[in-house]
Amino acid sequence: MNRLDWSSQPGQPLHGNVRVPGDKSVSHRALMLAAIAEGESRIRGFLEGEDTRATAAVLAQLGVRIDTPSAGERVVHGVGLHGLRGSSSPLDCGNAGTGMRLLTGLLAGQAFDSTLIGDASLSKRPMRRVTDPLALMGARIDTRDGLPPLQVHGGQPLLGIRYELPVASAQVKSALLLAGLYGIGDTEIIEPHPTRDYTERMLAAFGWPIAFEPGRAKLQGGHALHATDVDVPADFSSAAFFLVAASIVPGSELRLPAVGLNPRRTGLLHALRLMGADITIEHHCESGGEPVGDLVVRHAPLHGVELPESLVPDMIDEFPALFIAAAVASGRTVIRGAAELRVKESDRIATMATGLRALGAAIEETADGAIIHGGKLGNGSVESHLDHRIAMSFAVAGLVASGPVRINDCSHVATSFPGFLELANGCGFALQDAG
pLDDT at residue 289, as a whole number: 67
**What's this model's pTM, rounded to 2 decimal places?**
0.83
The set of residues, in sequence order, having a beta carbon less than 8 Å from that of 219 and lying 6+ positions away, is: 177, 180, 181, 186, 187, 203, 208, 209, 210, 211
Hey, which residues does 164 pair with through a beta bridge?
190
pLDDT at residue 238, as a whole number: 94
| Distance in angstroms (rounded) separating the CA atoms of residues 100 and 122 | 9
pLDDT at residue 325, as a whole number: 98
> Pick from 220, 227, 175: which is nearest to 199 by CA?
175
| Distance in angstroms (rounded) separating the CA atoms of residues 22 and 49 | 9
356: exposed, middle or buried (Cβ count in 10 Å: 0-12, 13-18, 19+):
buried
Secondary-structure percent of the chain, ordered helix, strand, coil, rounded to 5: 35, 30, 40
CATH topology of domain 6-20+233-433: UDP-n-acetylglucosamine1-carboxyvinyl-transferase; Chain (3.65.10)
> Pick from 160, 171, 175: which is nearest to 219 by CA?
160
| Distance in angstroms (rounded) separating the CA atoms of residues 146 and 125 | 9
285: exposed, middle or buried (Cβ count in 10 Å: 0-12, 13-18, 19+):
exposed
Out of 1.20.140.10, 3.10.129.10, 1.20.1260.10, 3.65.10.10, the CATH code matching 24-231 is 3.65.10.10
CB-based burial, 286-319: b 16+ in 10 Å, e otherwise: ebbebbbbbbbbebbebebbebeeebbbbbbbbb
Within 10 Å of residue 44's Cβ, how many Cβ atoms?
Answer: 16
Within 10 Å of residue 418's Cβ, how many Cβ atoms?
Answer: 18
Tell me the domain boundaries of the chain.
Answer: 6-20+233-433, 24-231
| Distance in angstroms (rounded) separating the CA atoms of residues 259 and 19 | 8
Torsion of CA 109, 56, 120, 128, to 10 degrees: -20
The residues annotated as belonging to the active site are 317
> Pick from 295, 310, 293: which is nearest to 239 by CA?
295
In CATH terms, are 6-20+233-433 and 24-231 the same topology? yes
Residue 360 CA to its chain's centroid (Å): 29
Q: In this structure, are residues 266 and 290 in contact, taking their beta carbons and an 8 Å threshold?
A: no
Residue numbers in the chain where pLDDT is lower than 70? 1, 288-289
pLDDT at residue 389, as a whole number: 94
pLDDT at residue 1, as a whole number: 55
| Distance in angstroms (rounded) separating the CA atoms of residues 204 and 288 | 11
What secondary structure, in 3-state letters, does 37-79 show? CEEEEEEECCCCCHHHHHHHHHHHHCCCEEECCCCCEEEEEEE
| Distance in angstroms (rounded) separating the CA atoms of residues 368 and 168 | 14
Within 10 Å of residue 258's Cβ, how many Cβ atoms?
Answer: 20
